[in-house]
Chains A and B, each alone.
Chain A
Amino acid sequence: MTDSVVNASPGLSPRPAKSGRKKKPVLTPLEREGKKLGLYMTLPAQLLLLFIVAFPLCMQVYVSLTWWTPLDGTKWYDAYESLNWFGNYGDIFDDSKFWGSLARTFLIVVVVVPAEFMLGLGLAMLFADKFPGKRVFYSIMLMPMMIVPAVAGYMFFMLFQSSGPINDILSAITGTRIDMVWLADRDLAMVSVMIADIWQWTPLMFLILLAGMVGVPEDQMKAATLLGANAWHRFWRIVLPRMKTVMIIALVIRTVECFKIFDILYVMTGGGPGVATKSISVYILDLTFKDLEWSYVAAIGLFILFFLSLIALVGIYYMQAAQKKAEA
């Protein structure tokens, strides 16, 4: 909005005027002061990043190349004594438990994220126009995602007890007594976890998609209506194309977050029964605390990090595109 104004007064513009590629831009004293202050101001954030990203990442690479565990008595910086280069990475490929939990995590993601997306989209369509009571209903609809995830997990733990209210409600609906053991059955436990996650995170989809839907200009919709387009056409031809970026952002955010699924799942089932709901996060937690194979965990972490970064790059690309569009 105000960018043009800033550029009109070059002396104050934070961006040095571009005149020739190679030539170093001449900064006014004020600009130089600004740059210097800027560097000081980014210092806290830079230090935190260095402290928690750069340094630990190097450490993780280092440890992942050894057999080091906290049990063997050597300090972590002496881990080179048990250097094994890529042994841990080789182990990943033979680790059927790892691939199993990865597959379960993917299963959760491919079921839960589209379900949340469709439900969120449907809800957003219901809330697109004004109607009496909208604000109150809107606030209630957002509530699930504000509940502490671990607490939400406990809520569903109580609901899904075999003598709990879910069976009660199902019995009331079907008329016969239903006694499903939700959390102790291999398949039903997975379903329960998915339902809990959908309950908690559909509101996020709803919130983002509704924000994207509101951006569609009303006069376009009116014109289309006058030209005889029905609701389905209006949605398919006008709303949907305009929402593409928003939808991708929503999907990427949820996919990345869902891949980390832990809190709800761990509180509800602890990964059980057996390994039926063991997601990758639960598997890593077990390796960390039960087996104490920290160097192997470091290798797995880097392995996952690599693939997640690829997905994340797509997300960052679209987010920056959206930001540019918003600024223009």
Chain B
Amino acid sequence: MPKPIHSYIWRYALILVAVGLALLPVAWMATMAFKPHTEWATSAADLHWWPHEETWANFEFIFTGQTDAVNITHERTAGKPILASLVTALLGTLIAVVAGTFGAYAVSRFKVGANLPIGVLQLRLFPPMAVMIPVMIMWVFIGAMDTWWGLSLIYGIVTLPFAFWLMKTFFDEVPREIEEAALVEGCSWFRVFWKVTLPMVKAAIASTALFVFILNWSDYVIALLLTRKDWVTIPVYMNSLSNVMSGQMYGAKAALGLIAALPPVVFGIAIQKYLVRGLTFGALKQ
């Protein structure tokens, strides 16, 4: 049935408005990152969107701690926090995906560990703030406070639910005839898992890993509670920038924000197909 032309016009108009609103804050930060500090605009009169003189000075400042344009220096550069974010998010992802994949396969195939599905789900529903006291006591006790492994470990645990449920939906979809054929041939269960099933879900594991990485990379609360100085991650470092300086470092923080925002956006678009599944713990599929 052909639709009247005006319905298309309305739809595109509304979509363009929505897209514009979605992009507006990002656009302001992205352009701010390239504005020299004279254009950071503290008065409403000379507010403008596109930088008059595009510059890399903001990026230079956050990485080296100084730049010609700004006469402040900063001894703590963004290098270490970026490294900390990368290391802890990657290791956390590794822990979550390995534990989640094994656990999900066992629950999917052998129906063991009946407490796992709900157990890991509960883990997600609790506000981290409400359960962090014992974790902080524990972390001090075992010397994990402000270390790369302490933060990685907790990231691995809090994102385990996502890894577990995503992998479970993928394993549930693998046709069992293939596994059964291999079993009849005389393979052991573990060989079947390792040599037959795992290669089939390679792409799924990659998607799960990217999904979990996004979550770990986005964390702020946990890093705020469990790091002090050496292993602060990007968001914690970013928020501390304004405390150290006199006034707001708009451009520098925008540049850092842009760097922090990029990986999740790129990865998120790459795994678009599985976002619904991941975010609803496999309850919905696209």
Contact = CB atoms under 8 A, between A and B. Distances in A.
Contacts of A53: 119, 122-123
Interface string A5-19: 110010010110000
B156 A48 contact: yes
B81 to A, nearest CB: 12
Contacts of B204: none
Interface in A243-300: 246, 249, 253, 256, 259-260, 262-263, 266-267, 280-281, 284-285, 288, 294, 297-298, 300
A319 interface: yes
A39 B200 CA distance: 22
B175 interface: yes
A225 B1 contact: yes
| Range, interface on chain A | 35 or more
B47 interface: yes
A111 interface: no
A162 B43 CA distance: 9
Contacts of B118: 316
| Range, interface on chain B | 35 or more
Contacts of A154: 29, 238-239, 253-254, 257
Contacts of A146: 214, 264-265, 267-269
A15 B176 contact: no
Interface stretch (B18-26, B53-61, B64-72): B18-26
B167 to A, nearest CB: 11
Contact of B128 (A163, A260, A320): A260
A191 to B, nearest CB: 16
Interface in A16-43: 30, 33-35, 37-43
Interface string A45-59: 110110111011101
Contact of A259 (B21, B127, B156): B127
Contacts of B136: 288, 294
Contacts of A312: 121-122, 125
Given A149-B218, A156-B25, A207-B276, A305 B130 contact: yes
Given A48-B157, A260-B127, 20 more contacts: A12-B180, A35-B110, A49-B123, A76-B141, A140-B19, A143-B23, A146-B267, A148-B220, A154-B29, A158-B250, A159-B24, A168-B47, A177-B44, A211-B284, A214-B286, A256-B125, A284-B130, A285-B224, A294-B136, A316-B118
Interface of A: 1-2, 5-6, 9, 12, 14-15, 30, 33-35, 37-46, 48-49, 51-53, 55-57, 59-60, 63, 70, 76, 123, 126-127, 131, 137-144, 146-152, 154-156, 158-159, 162-165, 167-168, 171, 177, 179, 199, 203-204, 207-208, 211-212, 214, 225, 246, 249, 253, 256, 259-260, 262-263, 266-267, 280-281, 284-285, 288, 294, 297-298, 300-302, 304-305, 308-309, 312, 315-316, 318-320, 322-323, 326-327
